[in-house]
Structure 1
Amino acid sequence: MDLRQLTTFYVLATTLNFHQTAARLNYVQSTVSAQIQALEEEFGVCLFDRLGRRVVLTDAGTRLLPYAKQMLHIAEEARLAITDDHKLIGTLTIGAPETLCTYRLPDVLHKFRTTYPQVRLLFNPMPCEELRRAVRDGSVDLVFVMEEPVSDSMLQVEPLISETIQLIASPHHPLAQRTAILPGDLEQETVLFAEAGCPYRLHLQHLLRAAGIQPLSTLEFDSVEAIKQCVMVGIGVAMLPEVAIAAEREQSKLAILPWAGEQIVLVTQMLWHKQKWMSPALQAFLTIARETLLRSQERQADGRGEEDEKEDRHISVASVP
């Protein structure tokens, strides 16, 4: 038994898929099979059942899994103990929807890359409906989602930021002059929707169906930026997260309409597999993401930007005698 065999066992136990395991480890599939077979012969037990195309852990495999995870963790600690622990290495694969990729995560990625430049980051913008599936099957190490609080027996979930989804229009749109907007007021409007499966699209569609409202017309976009541009020139109305419209709202390019219907509140959350080995690189990324996003929420709640915060720090330092 060696660490390569244990690593292969651990990844296969997480993905339950030979092809995905081979892809993650840069092996051909026959190498994965050979390493698993070698482990099974050494222990004298079957670690996986092959049921057609399905792969299932046996009782023996289930008992081995926590020990394999612990041994790999100790091996990583030993490696770090004899190297510079400020120079984390490895690869992290992160998934997120377009909204978070654009408006929430750039600061996180910049901070992590600056702090740990030797960690290879693979950042995958993904459709909303694919994110949970990707983290369950091990295609990615971590995903960020913006939706209602997630409850999933396979996943570790950490909520970070809650925000209201806002109904928006051009400041010159007739609805921008109203004091209250109900679902029925959208019946004669063009509604701009985000991609299929997007949580705030699904919520708005549900609200309209529940009220028996069919908008005059609808348009679908894969890009939040495209939605905003079309709203600004008066093509229609849309519902988008506060973080996506903050700059345009401050510049009076978009108007938040006084929506009097049911409020939509979504949560930015980090999700990772409960059985995943928490490498030092992943732990470091979680810490930086947590600190950066919570700090950004505090600035947003105070109506302050990062430049304001930097200016305050400069004043505080300059005032010290």
Structure 2
Amino acid sequence: MEIRQLKIFVTVAEEKSFTRAAQIMGYAQSNITTQVRLLEEEFNTRLFERLGKRIALTPDGEKLLHHAQRLLQYAFEVKEAMTSSREPNGILNIGIAESLCIFKLPTLLKEYSRIYPQVKLVIRQGTPLDFARWLRENVIDVAFSLDQLINDDDLIAKTLCEEPMIIVGNDEHPLIAKGCMELKDIAQESFIYTERNCSYRSVIENYLADSKIKPGSSYEFDSIEAIKQFVLSGLGIALLPYAAVEKELSAGNMVDLRLIEPKIEMYSQIVYHKNKWLSPSLLSLLDLVNEYF
């Protein structure tokens, strides 16, 4: 098994085509086919099902793809560590929570790209569970997570700041007249949830379950912008980071309904794996984050 063979295998798997893989890699298609066949012979298994002109990974192919991607990333890191200068360069894969990506980090990332234009930033939005898995699998180099304080033996997490969480309604919501709201008030409301595995959704669901409270009805969206539009339309209330609704609150068309308790504590944190090689590109990002926070 050679690195070149794994690159060919991964390219074929990603493109789902021997022909396109050959074009991308600049090889004859017969060479691509031969290298995949040699891998299949070495592992004594079929890696692809060939269905006419279409191909698909077999279960063993899926397994090899997972490990091959990690091996190729490690090989890239070794090469970069041994041959690159101290100047940041290459690709930096970053996981970012949606609310931080849209409302908190654009200025920092813009400044990073201005200072280090030779570094390509690849952004992946996800949840804290996604980030933990991606960091362990080396899919991303670092994550900006919005979560309760992270305590994971495999991960290094630095708290950047606390992110205030509020329950919001539109400017005509009846709860405004109360001046504040209690958790039990949600039983009479339509509650708009973020996607499953979102950290603050899990927290509010746990509080509601502990208090045996169910919303009158509910919606679920994986987009904060969609949630805000539903709130503004009077279709429900939602728990969101203050930073995500700051403009609407200032404009007066959305209102903090002032949940008395419990206090929902969320923190912006930068996270990377304890065994991650801190490349010049990653180190420079960590340094810039320290300046901003």
**What's the counterpart of residue 220 of structure 1?**
220
- More displaced 10-residue stretch of structure 1: 282-291 or 189-198: 282-291
| One of 19, 23, 29 as aligned partner of 2:68 | 19
Asked if the contact 2:127/2:145 (under 8 Å) is kept, the reply is: no
Q: Deviating runs (4+, > 6 A) in structure 1?
A: none
**What's the counterpart of residue 267 of structure 1?**
267
Asked if the contact 2:144/2:268 (under 8 Å) is kept, the reply is: yes
Partner of 1:204, secondary structure, is helix
Please give the residue correspondences for 1:1-321 in structure 2 after superposition, counting only pairs within 5 Å: 18-24=67-73, 76=81, 79-80=84-85, 88-292=88-292
What TM-score results when the alignment is normalised by the length of structure 2? 0.72
Letter in structure 2 aligned against 1:148? Q
CA displacement 1:293-316 (0-9 Å, x = unmatched) = xxxxxxxxxxxxxxxxxxxxxxxx
Could you tell me which runs of 5 or more consecutive residues in structure 1 were left unpaired when the two chains were aligned: 1-16, 28-71, 82-86, 293-321
How large is the Cα RMSD of the aligned pairs?
2.2
Letter in structure 1 aligned against 2:85? L
**What's the counterpart of residue 62 of structure 2?**
none
Asked if the contact 1:135/1:141 (under 8 Å) is kept, the reply is: yes
Aligned pairs, number: 227
Could you tell me which runs of 5 or more consecutive residues in structure 2 were left unpaired when the two chains were aligned: 1-65
Letter in structure 1 aligned against 2:271? L
* Rounded Cα–Cα distance in structure 1 between residues aligned with 2:82 and 2:248: 47
What TM-score results when the alignment is normalised by the length of structure 1? 0.66
Asked if the contact 1:164/1:263 (under 8 Å) is kept, the reply is: no
1:25 CA displacement: 6.1
1:188 CA displacement: 1.4
Partner of 1:225, secondary structure, is helix
Identity %: 30
* Rounded Cα–Cα distance in structure 2 between residues aligned with 1:79 and 1:137: 23
* Rounded Cα–Cα distance in structure 2 between residues aligned with 1:233 and 1:90: 45
1:253 CA displacement: 1.5
**Cα distance, 1:222–1:23 mapped onto 2, change above 3 Å:** farther
